[in-house]
Amino acid sequence: MTWPTTASLSRLVSSGLHPRVVTTLARAVKKGSKFQNPVETKMSTVAMLPKIIQLYLTNKDERKPRQPLGPFRTDARVYEQAPASGLRITWMGHSSLLIEMDGLRLLIDPVWDLRASPLRWSGPKRFFAPPLALENLPPIDVVLISHDHYDHLGKETIAKLAKLPTTKDARWITSLGVGAELRKFGMKRDVLTELDWTESTTLKDFTITALPARHFSGRSLLNRFETLWSSFVFKGTRHNVYYGADSGVWDGFSEIGKQYGPFDLTMLEVGAYNELWKAIHMGPDGAAEAFEALGATGLLMPIHWGLFELAPQAWRQPIERITQLADARGWKLWSPEPGVPSEVVAGEPHRSDWWRGLS
d(CA 79, CA 216): 35
Q: What is the mean pLDDT of the segment spanning 40-45?
A: 78
Q: pLDDT of 132-161, one tens digit each? A: 999 999 999 999 999 999 999 999 999 999
pLDDT attached to residue 48? 63
Find all residues with CB under 8 Å of 156, minimum gap 6, and list them: 112, 113
pLDDT attached to residue 58? 72
pLDDT attached to residue 248? 97
Q: Pick the residue with more confidence: 54 or 180?
A: 180
Instruction: State the greatest distance between any 2 C-alpha atoms of the chain, in Å, as a whole number.
Output: 54
Q: pLDDT of 200-217, one tens digit each? A: 999 989 999 999 999 999
Please name each of the domains of the chain with its CATH number: 6-21+31-351 (3.60.15.10)
Cβ(236)–Cβ(101) below 8 Å? yes
Cβ(14)–Cβ(149) below 8 Å? no
pLDDT at 272 over 80: yes
- Kindly state the DSSP code that residue 43 receives in the 8-state scheme: P
CA nearest to 125, candidates 108, 111, 145, 136: 111
Least confident of 29-38, 46-55, 269-278: 46-55
Q: How big is the chain, counted in residues? A: 359
Q: Given pLDDT bands bounded at 50, 70 and 90, which one contains residue 86?
A: very high
pLDDT attached to residue 53? 67
pLDDT at 116 over 60: yes
pTM of the model: 0.92
pLDDT at 322 over 90: yes
pLDDT attached to residue 13? 42
Cβ(247)–Cβ(215) below 8 Å? yes
pLDDT attached to residue 276? 87
d(CA 245, CA 235): 16
pLDDT exceeding 70 applies to what percent of the chain?
Answer: 89
pLDDT at 49 over 70: no
